Amino acid sequence: MTGEIWLGDLARALAEIGPETDDDVRVIARLLGLAAPAREDARAELAPDTAVPDSGLPDDWLTDDDGAEPADASGADPATRPPGEGDLPRLSPVGRRPPPRATGWGVRSLPRVSAGDLGRLPEREPLLAPRGGATILQTLIAVQTAEGPLDVPAIVEVLACRRVPERLPREAWPTLRFGVEVLVDVGLPMRPFEGDQLQVIRQLRTVVGEQLTSVRYFADIPARGAGPGPRRTWRPYEPPDPGTRVLVLSDFGQAGPATYSYQGAPDEWRSFASALRRGGCDAAALLPVPPDRWPRWLSTLMPLVFWDRSTTAGRAVAALGKR
């Protein structure tokens, strides 16, 4: 850029004039002061009254051919010519550093991946935390019975009233001997959680035992049919034996696509919960839906526990305590 002239002025000039050859472009650039003055033969081609601006540089500094570096007087390449008086002296190395040493990080490297590792799928991560998952399930399915230690405060209160207790009161004690019935929702919204449902069933059989764990499958709402086998064998749902804890693995119609019209209605779930209470069974549920999306009618059915890594045994105990 020279003075107040810059490349934008050259672009506007070219757009207005519309030069036909490269020589015209060079002439316009030189007139604007954006290039070195042309050769003598090129100056002759200009109009006599055309003034070529002076660049202020000595003539021997100007390039001979549009910005190309002038050749040496001897014709040799400047990069290969011998050093002259004005050239800087060449530096010679005074020493070399040894290569850096390998650093030991104190941690063993991971084993190399083999062909067998590539063909094996990684194990599914459980929705419940691995350390507290068994405790959470045990809390949900345990039945409270009056078979614990003697309730000393209650006994003192009875005796203070000068009454003779017919039975000595005892503290509540959790037990798993009544077993558990797992109701597994296999409807469309719960299909992404099939692997997680299987993990819960396997863990329950480990905690409670194979003999005391019963599994029934249903779609969207148990009242429409449930059973331990394929859908064609399902029958209208009936509660298990009194005292059996029922664990429901479902979304209760709170997930799935908006166009899905088969989810259970609130009245159907209320009827299901009432049938369980009439049969002498307590129920709890694991659902993979955040608590802020639970409607009020759902919170009144049974204890609900968020099926997520953030759930702890303390939260499960708190959910059961609300009932």
Closest CA to 144 of 177, 103, 105: 177
pLDDT tens digit sequence for 123-145: 788 888 888 888 999 989 988 77
Q: Look at residue 56 and tell me whether its pLDDT is greater than 50.
A: no
Of residues 170 and 53, the one with the higher pLDDT is 170
pLDDT at residue 18, rounded to an integer: 80
Residue type, 139: T
Task: State yes or no: pLDDT of 157 exceeds 60.
Answer: yes
> At 218, is the secondary structure helix, strand, or coil?
strand
pLDDT at 244 > cutoff 50: yes
Instruction: Give the range among 30-39, 91-100, 179-188 with minimum mean pLDDT.
Output: 30-39
Backbone angles phi, psi at 27, to 5 degrees: -65, -45
Q: How far apart are CA 30 and CA 62, in angstroms?
A: 13
* 243 pLDDT more than 80: yes
Strands 226-227 and 283-287: unpaired
Residue 209 has pLDDT above 80, yes or no: yes
- State residue 184's pLDDT score: 96
Per-chain mean pLDDT for the chain: 80
Residues 236 and 223 sit within 8 Å (Cβ to Cβ): yes
Q: pLDDT at residue 270 above 90?
A: yes
Residue ranges of alpha helices (H) inside the chain are 7-17, 22-31, 40-45, 115-118, 133-141, 152-160, 194-207, 266-278, 296-299, 313-321
Query: What pLDDT is recorded for position 58?
Result: 47
Predicted confidence at residue 57, as pLDDT, reads 45
Residue 275: the pLDDT is: 94
How does residue 233 score in pLDDT terms, banded at 50, 70 and 90? very high
**CA–CA distance, 232 with 97 (Å, rounded to integer):** 80
- In the prediction, which pLDDT does 30 show? 81
Q: Which domains does the chain show, CATH number per domain?
A: 7-61 (no CATH), 133-321 (3.40.50)
Please give the pLDDT value at position 273: 94
Q: CA quadruple 75, 78, 80, 81: dihedral positive or negative? A: positive
pLDDT range class, residue 3, cuts 50, 70, 90:
low
Instruction: Give the up-direction half-sphere exposure of residue 281: CA atoms within 13 A in the CB hemisphere.
Output: 24
> What is the model's pLDDT at position 102?
74
> Residue 25 has which token pair?
């472009």
Q: Is the pLDDT of residue 189 over 80?
A: yes
Query: Which pLDDT score, from 0 to 100, does residue 62 have?
Result: 44
